[in-house]
Structure 1
Amino acid sequence: MSEDTLFVGTDEGIAWAWVGAPNLYDPESWCSASRSGDGYIIGPVNSIAGEGKEIFLCSEWGAFGKVGDGWRKELMGVQAYDVAVRGDTLAVATKDGIYLRTKDGEWTVEEVEGWVPSSLSFAGEGLWVYLSSGYAMVKDHMLYLLNRRLRVPIVLGPPGDRFTDLAVDRRGVLWAATSVRDLSPGGLYRFDGESWSRYAWGDIYRDAVTCVEVDHEGFIWAGTWGKGAFRLKDDGTPDVEADSVVWITPENSPLSPTVSEDFCVVADLAVDDMGRIWVANYMAHGSPVPTNTPIVVLCGFPHGDAVAFTDEDGVPDGEGTVLLPLEGRLWFGTFRMGLAFLAYGPSLEDKGDDRWVHIFTAKFPKLTSNNISDVDVTPDGRILVATEEGLNVFRPVYSEGELRFEDWRVYDVSDGLPSNLVRSVCPTPEGSIWVGTEGGLARIRGDSITVYTRSNSPLVDNTVYALEYDAGRGCLWIGTGHGLSRLQISLTSEVNAPRVVAFPNPFFPEEGPLTFHNLPEGSSLKIFSPSGELVRSLSPEGGGEVIWRGDNDAGYLVGSGVYLYVVKDPQGEVQVGKVALVRRRR
């Protein structure tokens, strides 16, 4: 509407009529145009803007302005989505950018790399642009103030609806992997409780994020289906462009390629108690170059003293899918060759005392399938193995080079699981085992099993790919094939008592002090030697952090070894952990 005239865009052009006409249903009350006065086709109209006698439209063919009873060409040869006008400035949103024409008649184009403008509005101090980016299935959105180059992210919910791995960092931010093999990738998602962000590069293999993990320093690690892994440092805001990203590939690490020299798959990432990053280098056995490292252990990045395990070391000849590193032990699940157990003793680098045990159905008939999708451990030491034929639960006993199993139990549909195809498993502190299956979510508590599906709960989808316990919120995050659900399982959260983190671990005193993070206010920290002797007593002076330089209470430096730390808060709650101190040889 402009003054007393109504303008309507059609599939063939533009129509207008006086609003005071006796009968607007009468075609004789309308004027129309399908071409400009100089013969250009107007085409389907997407938007109309203007005031007074200055009326402009944009269409699939360009932009046009009204002149008297006709129309003139303003901009041709571009697909225009929206038009806006203020004073002498005309703005047109196109797939190539934002075209601007001032009173001198000259056009300029403003581009925001990687983004497409679809809507325009002059307001306040300048021109606001609505931008979108990404694949047709997964888009990011933001508002952009053109004259100030100001970006304002728009929260429209998660960028996609597929969640295949989850991790919660020490700030309580949720990170989600999104890729399922043979389906369209979606990048890495970040959710801070209010805003969603997406890390993506427009590359089908970089954006195929398979797994995600958080290390002891707070770095986020993610594996991909084709481009290795990447590590990012989150600045604590939803602005993904402010975060630094480092890629880990066969070119700068011991990772192996697979079907081609530039194709590297990381199926899983895990962090052990020492802060080392364990990498499942999927399909590395098929590497075209003689590296063949299906398991790689990185001590941060740059990786420094990385350790690689090959089939010659005892890694089973199967595609590794999941890792569970424990103190001096490793459980390794594969796609075709069952489960593997590694006892590597006090030194990861010294492979002379390593002991590998392969657990597969032909040799261990209690194992229900050789296709392992997830492995975890309960607080009381039971190992949970998710397979396509149910959940296996057992207590391992390793002594004098021999591995045996106690209390082996299988859970499947006959016991009450909604499906035998178990994709994920997650134990929680109150004693429950949560099981994600193809048919829904199950909770095992003692002898009882409770099932949650779309039909009896708000669960968004029955295909559960990933589970992650959020201690800070006392809830369970549930990643499915069609969205994310959150189940509150504890009436009280642990926000006021986050896990104490010691970093770096291992700790090299010659390179700087060890820092204990997340210490409760008023707490005490005591460090003990391997023999139980008190070495150092420390107290945070504010900020929840305290440093240790590798000395005892008398001020003398202590030797290399694994030290125990005990943190006690004013309420008597205790947290215990281990740190490794390593002195460099001179």
Structure 2
Amino acid sequence: MKFDTNNNMYLSVAGPSDKLWVIDSALTTPYWLPPFQPGYFIEIAIESTGKIWRTMGGVIMTDTKNTLFDRTDDTFHWYTTADGLISNFTRGCVVDQNNNLYIATDVGLAIYNGTTFSSITDFTNEDLFDVELDSQGRVWILARDGIYYYEPVFDIVSGWKFSDLGIHIEFLAVSNEIIQVQGFAFDPLRGCFWIGGETGLLKLAIQMDSASVLDDVLIYPNPVVAKGRVRIKNIPTDARVSIYSIAGRLVAEDLTPDVVFGEVVWDIPDDTGSGLYFALIKSQYGTKVCKFAIVK
């Protein structure tokens, strides 16, 4: 089940109907999306452009052209390994704010940028179940042996094995005769992940063990396009960040890093002009000023 930004409900139904159903936000109009394909869809992801993605023996894309309840202009394509997908055994999927599609497969993470597929296999166990975004837009992956995150800007994969964290959680071997008990979701209210497996429900909150050194502070992208997002990375968890224009005008204040990455994310307001800006970082470990540019 998924909801889009207009609060329309999407339901993947397994059984005689074998379709992806949509119910409008008023809960008055049930509607099914083509193509009709016998079987069940594992996961649904929705782009802001009106494209609907479904994983099942590859990944099926229906382009509604943002006219959801009008089938006359719909187009669709079933992507498989013939199109560059790393595996047809697809599971969870998610779309980020840039409409990049991430797909968990049995042999690694597949990424579709709207034109081509790429893949990431830098996991100690490439048998992946699901993929989610946290409140900062980072990509998190649930694997059979642990939880990983992917940083698209630096193309870096890192993570933690359940055994290294002292966590005991099991997932059944995949079989056509067995319904896999598995769940993976980010909880924005509590800032943690919930993981369901054969051994129960696990709440997983990851925190930094030590403070970052201010000399390692990194601002990216730099320069950044106006109306974009600036990340200030490698700062202590107790830090407070303020943003100033080159003229000394306070633009943002009291920005705090998350406890997992020691990172502040600043969404640039629409009325912010081009120019040079300064980030003032204050912590018990000292004070540091970094500069960055905003361009239109």
Q: Report the TM-score when normalising by structure 2.
A: 0.60
Q: Is 1:330 paired with 2:66?
A: no
* DSSP 3-state at the match of 2:10: strand
Aligned AA (1:367): L
1:156-186 deviation per Cα after TM superposition (whole angstroms, max 9, x unaligned): xxxxxxxxxxxxxxxxxxxxxxxxxxxxxxx
> 1:460, 1:480 within 8 Å by CA — same for their partners in 2?
no
Aligned AA (2:168): V
> 2:63, 2:75 within 8 Å by CA — same for their partners in 1?
yes
Structure 2 portions without partners, runs of 5+: 172-180, 209-251, 256-265, 270-296
Residue number in structure 2 paired with 1:113: none
Residue number in structure 1 paired with 2:6: 274
Residue number in structure 2 paired with 1:308: 32
Change (3 A) 1:489 1:382: farther
Residue number in structure 2 paired with 1:443: 149
1:258-282 deviation per Cα after TM superposition (whole angstroms, max 9, x unaligned): xxxxxxxxxxx11111111101112
Change (3 A) 1:442 1:465: farther
* DSSP 3-state at the match of 1:479: strand
1:234-292 deviation per Cα after TM superposition (whole angstroms, max 9, x unaligned): xxxxxxxxxxxxxxxxxxxxxxxxxxxxxxxxxxx111111111011124xxx3xxxx4
Q: Is 1:355 paired with 2:75?
A: yes
Tell me the distance in 2 between the aligned counterparts of 1:435 and 1:297: 27
1:192-225 deviation per Cα after TM superposition (whole angstroms, max 9, x unaligned): xxxxxxxxxxxxxxxxxxxxxxxxxxxxxxxxxx
Aligned AA (1:466): G
User: Displacement, 1:429?
Assistant: 3.9
* DSSP 3-state at the match of 2:72: helix
Change (3 A) 1:357 1:343: same
Change (3 A) 1:351 1:373: same
The 5-angstrom pairing of residues 201-216 of structure 1 reads none
Aligned AA (1:410): S
Q: Is 1:320 paired with 2:41?
A: yes
Tell me how large the CA RMSD over aligned residues is: 3.0
Q: How many residue pairs align between the two structures? A: 204
Residue number in structure 2 paired with 1:344: 64
1:269-326 deviation per Cα after TM superposition (whole angstroms, max 9, x unaligned): 111111111011124xxx3xxxx4511111257x4122123xxx42444422211123
1:453-512 deviation per Cα after TM superposition (whole angstroms, max 9, x unaligned): 232113332549322222222222222321333333468xxxxxxxxxxxxxxxxxxxxx
> 2:140, 2:148 within 8 Å by CA — same for their partners in 1?
yes
The 5-angstrom pairing of residues 185-204 of structure 1 reads none
Residue number in structure 1 paired with 2:96: 378
Tell me the distance in 1 between the aligned counterparts of 2:138 and 2:112: 15
Tell me the distance in 2 between the aligned counterparts of 1:430 and 1:346: 26
Change (3 A) 1:390 1:476: same
> 2:92, 2:104 within 8 Å by CA — same for their partners in 1?
yes
The 5-angstrom pairing of residues 405-416 of structure 1 reads 405=116, 408-412=117-121, 415=122
Residue number in structure 1 paired with 2:168: 460
1:404-455 deviation per Cα after TM superposition (whole angstroms, max 9, x unaligned): 32xx32122xx2x132221111122445322111222222233433342232
Residue number in structure 2 paired with 1:395: 113
Aligned AA (1:333): T
Which has more radius of gyration? 1
Aligned AA (1:295): L
Change (3 A) 1:453 1:481: farther
Aligned AA (1:460): H
Residue number in structure 1 paired with 2:239: none
Aligned AA (1:307): Y
The 5-angstrom pairing of residues 506-545 of structure 1 reads none
Tell me the distance in 1 between the aligned counterparts of 2:207 and 2:72: 46
Tell me the distance in 2 between the aligned counterparts of 1:293 and 1:304: 21
Tell me the distance in 1 between the aligned counterparts of 2:267 and 2:106: 39
* DSSP 3-state at the match of 2:201: strand
1:127-163 deviation per Cα after TM superposition (whole angstroms, max 9, x unaligned): xxxxxxxxxxxxxxxxxxxxxxxxxxxxxxxxxxxxx
User: Displacement, 1:354?
Assistant: 0.4
Alignment match of 1:421 (pick from 127, 132, 137) = 127
* DSSP 3-state at the match of 1:320: coil
> 2:109, 2:120 within 8 Å by CA — same for their partners in 1?
yes
> 2:47, 2:95 within 8 Å by CA — same for their partners in 1?
no
The 5-angstrom pairing of residues 92-103 of structure 1 reads none
Aligned AA (1:279): L
User: Displacement, 1:380?
Assistant: 3.2
Tell me the distance in 1 between the aligned counterparts of 2:143 and 2:85: 18
> 1:478, 1:486 within 8 Å by CA — same for their partners in 2?
yes
Structure 1 portions without partners, runs of 5+: 1-268, 397-403, 492-568, 577-586
User: Displacement, 1:574?
Assistant: 7.8
Aligned AA (2:14): Y
> 1:276, 1:300 within 8 Å by CA — same for their partners in 2?
yes
* DSSP 3-state at the match of 2:13: strand
> 1:444, 1:450 within 8 Å by CA — same for their partners in 2?
yes
Query: Higher relative contact order at CA 8 Å, sep ≥6: structure 1 or structure 2?
Result: 2
Aligned AA (2:78): H
